[in-house]
Amino acid sequence: MNLLKSFASTTGLQPSKSYIYEKLYPLDFDRYIILDTQSSNANFHYVFWFRVIELIEPVLSKHGIKIVHFIEDKKYHFNHTYVDNSTQLSQRAYLIRKALLFCGSSKLYSLIASENNIKQCFLKTDYSLDNTLVKDEEVIHSDKARKHFLNPTAAKINNIRPEEIAKKILKTLLDEDHSFDNTLSVGKVYSTQNLEVIPDCTFKIGNSSKSAKSEIVIRMDYLFSEENLDSQLSMEACAIVTSKAFNKNILINKKNKIKKVYFRVDKDSDSSFLDLLEENKINYDIITTLSGPDLDKEKIKFINYKKINKLNSLSLDFLEGLDKSKVYFKTNKIVIKSGKTFASKWHSKVLVNSADVRNSSFQLPPAIDQSFKDEADYFYFLTSEQI
């Protein structure tokens, strides 16, 4: 039972008009929608707004409609209007009443929108109490996981695929039907720009403006070649990922070329290499894919060094049952092997290279192995299939 109906039946009163004090919040435009893009409560915080906005913005701008964000403090890179937590509820109430549409998970803003007959796309995530007044057709539910979509958080709200929201906003606001390729998973480190070098040969990477932004990382944990590491460091300053100690002389002689060492902790790791790094004043971080008791067992060995940072490995279960030929992924990480660029370690294995990795889409490997799963957190998976 809706809470308001319950109020009405227990009090015997017919609910009347709500009341909230409003304060003027001037904007230099009047056709806008409000997106509630940040919530301090993780259960209400939606993490795929960037994709929703990428899809709706071109359509909205054709109609001369702007986007206003309700945020706590975090602004996106979009050139929009941001209303942060320095404003009062009364000002936000005013903005909602003047908006063309409200989209978000806040029940309070949804109630204010309902009371003012403002269109909405409400992301419902709290099912403990029925206390909104939004019409059913304006709700996107989050209680069930979407097929073939990976929620990277523990919050239900991120069960909602961003394309659903984009479509709903455009339909509700403009009565237009749009179709988009569907997101399957956005890796947590997708935005990180890396150049990962498998040290099977040595070559000059060059310093184009694109590669200059990226960190060059030599993956000694993929191929342990001290000879090539040594040669590569002679040419470029690089970071190194390794799970075991490498030659002390390389460390000493190429010290100034080593930007950082990422020491990967596996089961039964040996921490003594870190002493050598410290002795030689080489910057390092500790990383691992271990978890639970396996990780706790290793932690004690590393307590005198630094925090062990946990890397994420994806299961890729969301791909099951999909037409794999329609699935593709994008990446900002480039794997370099034998002087050629690849989208993943697998692509480098089968020698399917690409000249412009960051602006291309890539098919999945025919058989997905653990190493692809370990890399998958760098990828953004989509499908052109309409799910």
Considering the rule CB under 8 A, would residue 281 count as an interface residue with other proteins? yes
Which of 132, 182, 232, 348 binds other proteins (CB under 8 A)? It is 132
201 makes contact with other proteins (CB under 8 A): no
Rounded to a whole number of angstroms, the minimum distance from the CB of residue 34 to other proteins is 17
> Near other proteins by CB under 8 A, which window of 97-105, 220-228, 292-300, 372-380?
292-300
Nearer to other proteins, 46 or 48 (CB): 46
190: amino acid identity, one letter? Y
DSSP string, 300-359: HHHTTS-PEEEPP----GGGTTS-GGGEEEEES-EEEETTEEESSHHHHHTT---S-GGG
Q: How far is the CB of 313 from other proteins (least distance, A)?
A: 19
Q: How far is the CB of 308 from other proteins (least distance, A)?
A: 7
Q: Which is nearer to other proteins, 308 or 322 (CB)?
A: 308
Contacts of 177 (CB under 8 A, 6+ apart): 167, 170, 171
With both helix axes pointing from N to C terminus, report the angle between 107-115 and 89-98 in degrees, rounded to the nearest 10.
Answer: 50
Confirm or reject binding of residue 213 to other proteins (CB under 8 A). no
Tell me how far, at minimum, the Cβ of 2 lies from other proteins, in Å. 9
| 41 interacts with other proteins by CB under 8 A | no
By CB under 8 A, residue 151 contacts other proteins: no
- Closest approach of other proteins to the CB of residue 106, in Å: 8
Q: Within 10 A of 376 (CB to CB), how many other CB atoms are there?
A: 23
Using the minimum distance from each CB to other proteins, give the nearer residue, 176 or 270: 270
For residues 386 and 182, is the Cβ–Cβ distance under 8 A? yes
Shortest distance, position 338 Cβ to other proteins, whole Å = 33
Contact 219, 348 (CB under 8 A): no
Whether residue 357 contacts residue 329, with contact meaning beta carbons closer than 8 Å, is answered with no
Q: Which is nearer to other proteins, 20 or 189 (CB)?
A: 20
Residue 117 binds other proteins (CB under 8 A): no
248 binds other proteins (CB under 8 A): no
Q: Which stretch binds other proteins (CB under 8 A): 84-92, 169-177, 197-205, 223-231?
A: 84-92
For residue 80, the minimal CB distance to other proteins (Å) is 25
143, 270, 296, 369: which one binds other proteins (CB under 8 A): 296
- The residue with tokens 């073939």 is 148
Q: How many helices (H) and strands (E) does the chain have?
A: 12, 18
Show contacts of 60-67: CB within 8 Å, 24+ apart.
Answer: 60/33, 63/31, 63/174, 64/31, 65/31, 65/32, 65/33, 65/100, 65/173, 66/29, 66/31, 66/32, 66/33, 67/32, 67/33, 67/35
Instruction: List interacting residues with other proteins (CB under 8 A).
Output: 3-4, 6-21, 88-90, 107-108, 111-112, 129, 131-132, 275, 278, 281-283, 296-297, 299-300, 302-304, 306-308
